[in-house]
Structure 1
Amino acid sequence: MTEATITTPERSAPTPREVRLPPTPPVPRLIQGLGFTTSRKWTVAQIVRRCGDVFTLQLPVFGRTVIVADPALAKELFMANTEDVGNIQPNLSRVLGSGSVFALDGTDHRRRRRLLTPPFHGKSIRNYEAIFEEETLREAQNWPEGTPFETLEPMMRITLNAILRAVFGADGTHLDELRRIIPPWVTLGSRLAVLPTPARTYGRFSPWGRLARYRRRYDEVIGRLIDAVQADPDFDERDDVLALLLKSTYEDGSSMSRQDIGDELLTLLAAGHETTAATLGWAFERISRHPDVLARLAAEADTEDNEYRQAVILEVQRVRTVIDFAGRHVYAPSFNLGEYTIPQGYSIVVALSQMHHRTQEFSDPDRFDPHRFLGQRPPTFAHIPFGGGTRRCVGAAFANVEMDIVLRTVLRHFVIETTDAPAEKTHSRGVAYTPKSGGRVVVHRR
């Protein structure tokens, strides 16, 4: 293990700025890159055991990167001045578009979040609860009884249909087109997002060519939907997300462009539904293997209480973290992180999954135990499945209510069998981690 001290090139300052980097594991850069690309969670866990909770790697796509698995350092990073550390580069805007909130930084990012926040908080989310229940019941109509089936794909359909209805306010042929476009686009985009972007698409049948073809089809559908919403005689009374974005303006009176709205809606549709569905798939996988948890959940579902269900959701997010890292890019000449000084141009990545398994904050961290969250909130910056700071997921509250209602609805209408089968392994879909066997369960109608 080595610790590097380097000097940044002289800019406006009369003398160079001294930089102190965290230790680097004694592993060739090629091996570091291959390990992170093929198995991020495992690679980070192995290095943490050897180097501690902060270290430096040279990674494909992200380049020179400091990995953090310490809540105190994560807090420093997420609460830092956004002029000093900003959007990690590259990011999901490579597949979501330059108008996505993922692409924006600084003032532009703050202005966009102000427009996106109202539809996903407070009273607005309560209006969506009926949609979550209706979509769950519609999907569950054809679930087989007494035979194992995968819950992940049904959860993907529930969450996609729910966000489509929340965004566009109604059903119809245009949404049928989006149901055909979004799932394969999300699957492909999730895998390509963690790979270097080629200079060209290499033809219509290449992965990048197929992604571009899905995007063209998506843009055509969104264009027609925007036209239809703007022509609606009741446009001023509509409260769906698309109508709210079309009606909203920035402080200077300007509004979002059609392209930016398309990019932002794609961000909501793609990034939101996959991660929520993956967490729900893990929830069914976990509770079917813990009879005491399942029994308490089932009893609570017949009431209006949700304290235990919320604890279960928090524990699923901790023990089976779907998105395993969140990061920032150093834009200042240097950035102080704990005892270290990180130079401009470095990325700093918080290893969320590793943080969620720290023994300092979570006793026996591999044990699935929702009781650890009963009557108390998770430790600040030790449990951050939605990221932290100014770039925390704007749809976090929406996703949490959706998971709560979907679980409650299933438990009210079905009895889930318990199993002593081994835990399902983790499968990487590129960005998100899902149950390898799809979160298989056996159910019976109540």
Structure 2
Amino acid sequence: MFGTRRYRTTPRPVRCGTTTSLEPSVSEATIEATPAVEVAPEINLPPSPRLPKFLQALGFIASRRRMVDAMTRRHGDVFTLRVPVFGNMVTVADPQIAKQLFAANTDDVGNIQPNLSRILGSGSVFALDGTEHKRRRKLLTPPFHGKSIKNYEVIFEEETLREAASWPDGRQFESLEPMMRITLNAILRAVFGADGEQLDELRRIIPPWVTLGSRLAVLPAPSRTYGRLTPWGKLAAYRRQYDAVVERLIDTVKADPNFDDRDDVLTLLLRSTYEDGSAMSRRDIGDELLTLLAAGHETTASTLAWVLERVSRHPQVLDGLVAEARTDGNEYRQATILETQRARTIIDFAGRHVYAPTFQLGEWVIPRGYSIFVAIQHIHDRSEDFASPERFDPQRFMGKRPSTFAFLPYGGGTRRCVGAAFANVEMDVVLRTVLRHFEIETTTAPDEKTHSRGVAYTPKAGGRVVMRRRTTPLA
């Protein structure tokens, strides 16, 4: 019923060499060597179901995780599907094969096609490939590492306390939306360096734009928007509003007499130049900032909501977190965040596109034009790397860590999330602030199911939790 497809590509035409006698004696003749014949490797695709394409597509759209679950049980850790948007897709759920993919030459396998640039814009780092992608990442790295992130810690704590002021005391509430507001406000302040009316506009625009864009990102795009009342038309309208706000913000920042002393992300991008002295265009800066705002708050907020959902159901973990919150330590808190990212993976795949005529992937040979998806959630669930993976256990991240390619919450290789360190510090500070100012009640309620928002996965019930304000904060 299921099998492996093998076929040979047509070899390139070969021109044979020539022999020219310059002297009568053959032994003294100059012989031009015959070039080696280039033979294309035999294409060897992983097994695929004999389901009709429309059933494969339907299964992937309805629940890609269940679809991948079913395929891995039947075919193993590498298999082929035909899915919407991405077409022919090889799915990988083996960390060693994922490592090979992420370490491959970017001329052979590059950015997935299509990608989030159709939502975020052609100037987004998601749109770039090869040398252009490498150059852009070098510009984006400084604001999200080391001393720069340390400067943002006060922002993370302030935004948490500001949002927490309205939380109901002793009454259950959904934590996802408050976490969305905390992370959006934090990234807005870190990106633009100030608060004000224009940031209020972005607070109004970004949340519905992210929700809509996340859903549309995994669906085929129409050739045109078909009017402002359609989903794609609404997305375009949000983008026009966003562009107008960012243009005004850029003008304000460039006119600031303290421009050279500012340390917000927008200013750093405006001051940055490539090796050749050229700078990013306003359009590219707008696309990049939109990428940071969209990718930098939804995934972080979703993880924080899952952390609260998890610890409220694991009293021993919660006790350990509270004890640590009384100190300056954060090892157990970090382990809890990492275990949440493993057990409740927010972004469940990372993709590449084959540009070489063929690409060797383990025992398989993949032809040009195919997509290759790494099934991150399934890698995180492997018992070979995580004993009893169904168990929520932060201790597995204390001391010895799993191998790099067995744990991929931020993707891998040259396209690993540039804001990973920023997100990690933000989650740590937000969780510490909550633990110090609130008592989290434990519950025996069933685990919340996962809910797909298109690209990201969130708690289906919104990460419901009951908290009580501490009369005296910890520490």
Using the size of structure 1 for normalisation, the TM-score is 0.99
SS at 1:381's partner residue? helix
Judge conservation of contact 2:385–2:402 (CA < 8 Å) in 1: no
Q: Say whether 1:193 aligns with 2:217.
A: yes
SS at 1:128's partner residue? helix
Q: Say whether 1:274 aligns with 2:298.
A: yes
Q: Report the CA distance between 1:261 and its aligned residue.
A: 0.1
List per-residue Cα deviations over 1:151-195 (Å, max 9, x = no partner): 000000000000000000010111000000000000000000000
Q: Say whether 1:109 aligns with 2:121.
A: no
**In the alignment, which of 20, 33, 42 is matched to residue 18 of structure 1?**
42
Matches within 5 A, 1:283-302: 283-302=307-326
Q: Report the CA distance between 1:335 and its aligned residue.
A: 0.7
Measure, in 1, the Cα distance between the counterparts of 2:200 and 2:316.
40
Q: Report the CA distance between 1:64 and its aligned residue.
A: 0.6
Matches within 5 A, 1:363-382: 363-382=387-406
Which residue number corresponds to residue 5 of structure 1?
A: 6
Measure, in 1, the Cα distance between the counterparts of 2:328 and 2:40.
62
SS at 2:458's partner residue? strand
Q: Say whether 1:432 aligns with 2:433.
A: no
Measure, in 2, the Cα distance between the counterparts of 1:190 and 1:55.
26
List per-residue Cα deviations over 1:331-365 (Å, max 9, x = no partner): 01111111111111101000000000001101111
SS at 1:329's partner residue? strand
SS at 2:290's partner residue? helix
Judge conservation of contact 1:101–1:109 (CA < 8 Å) in 2: yes
Measure, in 1, the Cα distance between the counterparts of 2:8 and 2:176.
49
* Structure index of larger Rg: 2
Measure, in 1, the Cα distance between the counterparts of 2:314 and 2:261.
47
Measure, in 2, the Cα distance between the counterparts of 1:186 and 1:252.
34
SS at 1:303's partner residue? coil
Between 422-431 and 16-25, the greater mean CA deviation after superposition: 16-25
One-letter amino acid of the structure 1 residue matched with residue 56 of structure 2: Q
Q: Report the CA distance between 1:16 and its aligned residue.
A: 4.5
Q: Report the CA distance between 1:11 and its aligned residue.
A: 5.5
Q: Which stretches in structure 1 are left out of the alignment for 5+ residues?
A: none
Measure, in 2, the Cα distance between the counterparts of 1:6 and 1:173.
61
Measure, in 2, the Cα distance between the counterparts of 1:6 and 1:227.
58
Judge conservation of contact 1:327–1:347 (CA < 8 Å) in 2: yes
Between 335-344 and 27-36, the greater mean CA deviation after superposition: 27-36
Structure 2 CA distance for partners of 1:11 and 1:397, relative to 1, 3 Å: farther
Matches within 5 A, 1:34-433: 34-433=58-457
One-letter amino acid of the structure 1 residue matched with residue 118 of structure 2: R
Q: Report the CA distance between 1:417 and its aligned residue.
A: 0.3
List per-residue Cα deviations over 1:69-121 (Å, max 9, x = no partner): 00000000001111110000011111000000000000000000000000000
Q: Report the CA distance between 1:26 and its aligned residue.
A: 3.4
Measure, in 1, the Cα distance between the counterparts of 2:222 and 2:255.
40
Measure, in 1, the Cα distance between the counterparts of 2:39 and 2:386.
45
Q: Report the CA distance between 1:298 and its aligned residue.
A: 0.8
Judge conservation of contact 1:85–1:331 (CA < 8 Å) in 2: yes
Structure 2 CA distance for partners of 1:423 and 1:8, relative to 1, 3 Å: same
Using the size of structure 2 for normalisation, the TM-score is 0.93
Judge conservation of contact 2:90–2:370 (CA < 8 Å) in 1: yes
Q: Report the CA distance between 1:15 and its aligned residue.
A: 4.5
Measure, in 1, the Cα distance between the counterparts of 2:368 and 2:385.
31
Q: Which stretches in structure 2 are left out of the alignment for 5+ residues?
A: 15-37, 471-475
Measure, in 2, the Cα distance between the counterparts of 1:7 and 1:178.
54
Measure, in 2, the Cα distance between the counterparts of 1:187 and 1:148.
24
One-letter amino acid of the structure 1 residue matched with residue 366 of structure 2: I
Q: Report the CA distance between 1:31 and its aligned residue.
A: 1.5
Measure, in 1, the Cα distance between the counterparts of 2:248 and 2:60.
41
Q: What is the RMSD computed on CA atoms of the aligned residues?
A: 1.0
Measure, in 2, the Cα distance between the counterparts of 1:213 and 1:103.
21
Measure, in 2, the Cα distance between the counterparts of 1:59 and 1:337.
20
SS at 1:336's partner residue? strand
What is the aligned-residue identity percentage? 72
